[in-house]
Structure 1
């Protein structure tokens, strides 16, 4: 194994650990969403969120996720690390079923299989043979400001959507974009601090990374209200690598192995993963029947 491939696999290992930590954080956030019933997109709800111990528990796990993510993107390109986010959904499916007091359905197992196969194929065509590039200072400002504006617009619009499901989908997509873009900003900030402390502090990505990541945490928390864990987690999982790939390819000089052929394979993998996520997030008949038979979850648990 060459040094370059060793670094890529080391980045993948840290990426898997990051997914495990994020799954634990998502479970804590879902449990918190059961206790705070009012939409967090409304006014006056932020205080009740910050006063709850589960919010701080989720922050601890998200801190671990962020640490592993920093290590992952330090060794591997974004186009390799971000598709691993699908594992969050695979880890979270049993938890989602447990929270709903039911078994994992056959459709959910099929969805897990589709996403796993798509992930393996996607990794095979996304390895670029290096760590990838970083954002320039100008691109950091452009990407950071544009992302913050987009997240604010989506949050504003979601707060005015009457359907809890569609509000959740919009917020979850915005959270996925935030996590994907923040990974690019983190990768750049790590490089900048490697050039010196003053260079790191002065680089716009050092500010953009925490701001966008915190916005993503609040958006994800709001997305878990009124729906099961699987739906927002699935949307976030799909939006995350898409946003990261767009930033990586457009601004950081990353590319898919095999040129256009590799890109075409990646596109097919994305559709397969999307179908798998649909199986995981759209309630099937047997899941609905099990949910009707099961007792309502206790908000105090």
Structure 2
């Protein structure tokens, strides 16, 4: 039965918490020309949409470029009271992910590399202690040295854009892996129907926080509902994976060096329409979608979009 209490996208009293935001309201966090004015504008628009906190997400590029972008946002955040309030820290997604087609997703394949501690520390230093989540591929972390390094610093290690075997996934969990990034995405359209990364992660959901994109484009609604039921709502949280197009409608936008085309359904495509690149969704839209398409009651929606991500932030 559909519950209609949130058709007006009621905002939670404490605000939404979004752990994966690449940009917002025309502002690209992965752009090299990010200005203080642009960052402030993005934070104003997030606040207007009822978002209390986000993790600014920096995606795969060469380590020098990623470091420069992290440093720039860290510096601008320190000079802006609103940005410091809204941006709780960083989610570094890559470059230590699986380079194979499908798994690499929208990340530039030529910048993907195996995990190693020197480059990871360089990124952490550039982020000035603000790193809260790092997404990597467990099978690309030899000996799980980076996973252990991050876990020892109380940084949440998340699997994503990856295809570890079940043994590798278990070993990564033992080393400190605590989360999985946007389950159902960052993987090929065609996989083994039983032995695949989605099923492996769901089988270990009692040990992992499970992130999901709830825009109806990245994961169809029936599948999203199945994932939440299988993992248990207490282990799941919702992200927008928003890019600069968030809240703006159809058009052409940027995510780093990539052009993104947003169609009339809100889907965010690479310029050649070969794959999705982030999302144009907002948290108020997500809240209505979860209620309208999955029939979730208000308290369940608030758990997924506010309470659980806030709990994760408090722990990392």
TM-score by length of structure 1 reads 0.27
* Higher-strand-fraction structure: 2
* Higher-helix-fraction structure: 1
Higher relative contact order (CA closer than 8 Å, sequence separation 6+) = 1
Select the structure of larger CA radius of gyration: 1
